[in-house]
């Protein structure tokens, strides 16, 4: 399989967790490169639904090593809770998890600042997951963050934490929020730190040694291309590089060690949170929600839904250098007829083939649609491409051609087996 970067080609929640789980069968190591517990990756394993937030989805399969790389922001309390939750469900976590000591920490003041900033933004809020991700990456870029390596040195950590809490309490007071207790945070973080100690270390060296030994690595992207801090619909984005480059910088593996990029996209479009979504369609969303589909894995919020947007995915294909496409949730379209596909945008009378940089302009883009016939049949039980209805095959070929990369996987249900390798 070689070294594979898997990224979301849309606005997150493309079904990356499910595809990672399928590809993990052939990988030795699974790596999270960026993001934090804003991610929610769903995997159905032995009939049980798991939602992974910080731990790579590979943890569910025995014999696979999971790495949380330098570029991830870690809430130690949330990570320990996730580990405990997995263990309760019978998942082994010991020498199969490594955590970079360079990864930055998410602290309680990050979560409070995230919440306060959103409150103050009012109707122009980002719609964050309120996990403190933006403020944590903000501290990292400002070079005032605390890292796992600090947490591993209790005396040093307490000293740095005290100064940080003092500073952040005055900001929180100015925002009208309650102050944070140094004592409580210090105690709970140091306790979590002790639980994480056996897993912390230099993951860069580990990954490079593994590469030298010919191990195959799967880089599990979090979020999606249009939530990327540099390439997404700014400011309605997350605070990390969710695109393929982030899979190199986050874990410290150079580009020429990567062999392929798999882009995951839904057969339609969804977004959770605010910001432009040109193909949004409320009726289509209602239909999916009535089926119990498209509720966020992290926050439970109803996802906004729309038609497949080929302008967006074509751009994603370019930024990420997507070699292969995995299309998920094909079955979401099983009852829809006709099916619309956005082939271009119209803005102020002009046709656009790439999304504009400005979020307000993107918001004003009117989709130009092509209409394709639906198949009006269940695709859930198809296991080979040839078993799909002719209209479904035509639809897949059409959206992949517009996106600009060959189709390699089709997903027709959440379970591992509901997968077609093309
Ligand atoms: P991720 O963040 O990209 O890993 O995606 P999420 O797990 O947040 O959301 C994807 C949702 O779609 C989850 O509920 C998955 O179980 C589900 N899912 C993935 N692929 C399919 C599919 O092909 N069909 C159906 N019905 N559900 C799917
Ligand atoms: P996975 O990995 C979908 C969205 C939030 C919000 C914006 C910023 O499961 O695909 P943040 O909390 O990161 O500051 O929020 O990004 N967002 C996601 N949307 N899937 C995710 O992760 C997301 N992670 C963040 O809803 O719009
Ligand atoms: Mg998700």
329 close to ligand 1 (CB < 6 Angstrom) = yes
Model pLDDT, residue 1: 54
**If you measure from the C-alpha of residue 350 to the centroid of ligand 2, how many angstroms do you get, rounded to a whole number?**
31
Model pLDDT, residue 297: 87
pLDDT tens track for 221-270: 999 999 999 999 999 999 999 999 999 999 999 999 999 999 999 999 99
The radius of gyration computed from the CA coordinates of the chain, to the nearest angstrom, equals 21
Model pLDDT, residue 360: 96
Ligand (nearest to CA of 419):
1
152, with CB counted inside 10 A (0-12, 13-18, 19+), is middle
222 close to ligand 2 (CB < 6 Angstrom) = yes
**DSSP 8-state code for residue 302:** B
Model pLDDT, residue 182: 98
The list of the chain residues with pLDDT below 50 reads none
**Residues near ion ligand 3 (Cβ under 5 Å):** 13, 40, 297
Catalytic residue flag (residue 208): no
Q: In terms of DSSP H, where are the helices of 75-181?
A: 76-88, 108-121, 133-141, 148-151, 154-174
Taking the C-alpha atoms of residue 246 and residue 241, their distance in angstroms, rounded to an integer, is: 5
Q: Which residue among 13, 21, 139, 331 is the active-site one?
A: 13
Residue with tokens 């570029």: 71
Model pLDDT, residue 293: 95
Question: Contact 345/366 with Cβ under 8 angstroms?
Answer: yes
359 close to ligand 2 (CB < 6 Angstrom) = no
Q: What is the mean pLDDT of the chain?
A: 97
Question: Contact 8/35 with Cβ under 8 angstroms?
Answer: no
Query: Which SS3 state, helix, strand or coil, does residue 16 take?
Result: helix
Model pLDDT, residue 109: 98
Catalytic residue flag (residue 13): yes
Taking the C-alpha atoms of residue 266 and residue 169, their distance in angstroms, rounded to an integer, is: 42
Q: Which residue among 21, 41, 101, 114 is the active-site one?
A: 41
266 close to ligand 1 (CB < 6 Angstrom) = no
Neighbours of 19 (CB within 10 A): 27
What b-and-e string marks burial along 55-77, b requiring 16 or more CB atoms within 10 Å of the CB?
A: bbbbbbbeebbbbbbbbbbbbbb
17 close to ligand 1 (CB < 6 Angstrom) = yes
């Amino acid at each position: 399989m070689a070294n594979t970067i898997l990224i979301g080609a849309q606005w997150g929640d493309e079904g990356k967790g499910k595809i990672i789980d399928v590809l993990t069968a052939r990988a030795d190591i699974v790596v999270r490169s960026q993001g934090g517990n804003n991610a929610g990756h769903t995997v159905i394993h032995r009939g049980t639904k798991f939602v992974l937030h910080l731990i790579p989805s590979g943890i569910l399969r025995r014999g696979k090593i999971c790495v949380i790389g330098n570029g991830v922001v870690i809430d130690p309390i949330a990570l320990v809770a996730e580990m405990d939750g997995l263990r309760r469900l019978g998942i082994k976590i010991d020498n199969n998890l490594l955590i970079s000591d360079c990864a930055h920490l998410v602290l309680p003041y990050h979560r409070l600042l995230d919440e306060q900033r959103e409150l103050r933004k009012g109707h122009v809020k980002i719609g964050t997951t309120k996990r403190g991700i933006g403020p944590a990456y903000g501290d990292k870029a400002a070079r005032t963050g605390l890292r796992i390596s600090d947490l591993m040195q209790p005396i040093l950590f307490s000293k740095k934490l005290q100064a940080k809490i003092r500073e952040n309490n005055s900001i929180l007071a100015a925002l009208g929020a309650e102050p944070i207790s140094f004592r409580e945070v210090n105690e709970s973080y140091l306790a979590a730190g002790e639980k994480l100690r056996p897993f912390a270390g230099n993951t860069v060296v580990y990954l490079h040694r593994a590469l030298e030994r010919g191990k195959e690595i799967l880089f599990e992207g979090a979020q999606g291309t249009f939530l990327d801090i540099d390439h997404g619909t700014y400011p309605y984005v997350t605070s990390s590089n969710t695109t393929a480059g982030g899979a190199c910088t986050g874990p410290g593996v150079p580009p020429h060690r990567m062999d392929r990029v798999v882009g995951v996209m839904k057969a339609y479009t969804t977004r959770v949170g605010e910001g432009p979504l040109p193909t949004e369609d409320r009726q289509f969303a209602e239909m999916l929600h009535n089926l119990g589909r498209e509720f966020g894995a992290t926050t439970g919020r109803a996802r906004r839904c729309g038609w497949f947007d080929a302008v967006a995915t074509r751009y994603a294909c370019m930024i990420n250098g997507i070699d292969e496409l995995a299309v998920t949730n094909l079955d979401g379209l099983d009852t829809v007829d006709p099916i619309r596909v956005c082939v271009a945008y119209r803005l102020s009378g002009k046709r656009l083939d790439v999304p504009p940089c400005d979020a307000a302009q993107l918001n004003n883009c009117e989709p130009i649609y092509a209409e394709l016939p639906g198949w009006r049949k269940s695709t859930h039980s198809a296991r080979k491409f040839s078993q799909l209805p002719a209209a479904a095959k035509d639809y897949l070929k059409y959206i992949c051609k517009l996106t600009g990369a060959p189709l390699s996987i089709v997903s027709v249900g959440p379970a591992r087996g509901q997968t077609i390798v093309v």
